[in-house]
A and B are shown apart, each in its own frame.
Chain A
């Protein structure tokens, strides 16, 4: 994998509406770190003393059987869950344990796209995208709308500004959700099985948008997916999870072509 993952925008000048423009200076080096993180649901230990870090600008894919804790990592980073033990830092600031005010600051750096889209059905597509930039980042309404239209152009939905989410197909809704997450100019984008709820014919459109973002921005991506071809395309690093632990990690070439761990081989044999 190329080490030059801080791909500047000039790489793709034909995409001025890309996701990473006009953002604050990006950090380099380690962006996310989990130290000895344990998460239990009742008696079930989902993450077991996990150590794990992601460098800025990298695209990391988490694979593994369901229930192995992949999604839990994303949910911990988005502060939808709290770990039972351990420490989480983002860009050098502690996300857990931390006071609420600090959590809110750090959360600005992280965006998430959900399996079920979770668009706000009571708002238009445009308002879905502008709501948070206006109320959280203090952007003016006009500025937020201009940017929202750019993002909608990037995901190929310029004509849907005034539509309600419920009037869109699943694939279109997910592309709006991606635009909505990017409108907050996050440094990290968490993608939680974003194509799992889609009809098969709609998957490609969403993955194309994500490939585009991966290529044309320097955003850090953490991606849980069952789309192995997609993982192979965009990842700098693939982590294989099993029972709350990383059992193998490496470049996509290594993991997909020459896995060392027996469990990884079994898993890939079953899904590929």
Chain B
């Protein structure tokens, strides 16, 4: 096996395209999972079964079926019902939805970890429920769960190649395409492998910096 630097430089334009797509998936997918997970977590606290039962059932279902199956389902089955979206949009939504079922549990733990005295103080000050959530409970809950949320971002990064299965050309997709066309596998796969490590590492550094800032 020999290493061919010219194959690396030939691959680079495709690599940058793939990197951009991977980062898009990661950023948008994370935002969706953070937002949707919070929505699930809050809905699970609505004091009626008519809300908690369906939300619980749906999120349990999504969490316990493979992301790959969900991707195929959303990409190939939904169009039959007249719902169409680009592969990238579908993929970003699927990965965001999938991870939201994990982040909801992170939020739940964070919300439950806020001492009951905080609720009592808010009641004693007559703060409306909404305001209590917005300025007392959630700021404290979210601060506690930033590390756990960050771990899911890194986890999600490692799941982004699954989107290749629905034709999204992220890093792995670009590498595979290049490899098949040029019969050179080592160089493109090595390049994207290194890229995954670098992104994970930078993400964890950013996360640690954020944690430090939140803790003061």
Identify the A interface with B (CB < 8 A).
78-80, 104, 107-108, 110-112, 114, 116, 118-123, 131-132, 135-136, 164, 180-181, 184
Contact = CB atoms under 8 A, between A and B. Distances in A.
Contacts of B139: 122
28 contacts: A78-B120, A78-B124, A79-B123, A80-B120, A80-B123, A111-B125, A112-B120, A112-B124, A114-B117, A114-B124, A116-B115, A118-B117, A118-B118, A120-B121, A120-B136, A121-B140, A122-B136, A122-B139, A122-B140, A123-B135, A131-B127, A131-B135, A132-B127, A136-B126, A136-B127, A181-B124, A184-B125, A184-B126
Contacts of A132: 125-127
B216 interface: yes
Interface string B124-158: 11111001000110011001000000000000000
Contacts of B124: 78, 80, 107, 110-112, 114, 181
Contact-residue bracket for chain B: 10 to 19
Contacts of A116: 115, 117
Nearest to A107: B126
The residue among A104, A107, A135, A180 with the most chain B CB atoms within 10 A of its own CB is A135
Contacts of B123: 78-80, 107
B140 A164 contact: no
Nearest to A109: B126
Contacts of B128: 135-136
Q: DSSP class of A's interface residues: helix, strand, loop or mixed? A: loop
The residue among B117, B124, B136 with the most chain A CB atoms within 10 A of its own CB is B124
The residue among A80, A118, A164, A184 with the most chain B CB atoms within 10 A of its own CB is A118
Contacts, number: 60
A132 B125 CA distance: 6
Given A111-B124, A116-B117, A131-B125, 8 more contacts: A78-B124, A80-B123, A122-B143, A123-B135, A132-B126, A136-B125, A136-B127, A184-B126
A104 B126 contact: yes
The residue among B117, B121, B128, B135 with the most chain A CB atoms within 10 A of its own CB is B121
Nearest to A108: B126
B131 A135 contact: yes
Contacts of B135: 120, 122-123, 131
Contacts of B127: 131-132, 135-136
Contacts of A110: 124
Contacts of A118: 115, 117-118, 120-121
A255 B143 CA distance: 49
A42 to B, nearest CB: 18
Contacts of A184: 125-126
The residue among B125, B131, B135 with the most chain A CB atoms within 10 A of its own CB is B125
A150 to B, nearest CB: 18
A122 B214 CA distance: 10
A121 B143 CA distance: 11
A265 B115 CA distance: 37
A119 B126 contact: no
B212 to A, nearest CB: 16
A67 to B, nearest CB: 19
State the 10 A-B residue pairs at the shortest beta-carbon distance, nearest first: A132-B125, A118-B121, A118-B117, A112-B124, A122-B139, A107-B126, A136-B126, A116-B117, A80-B120, A135-B131
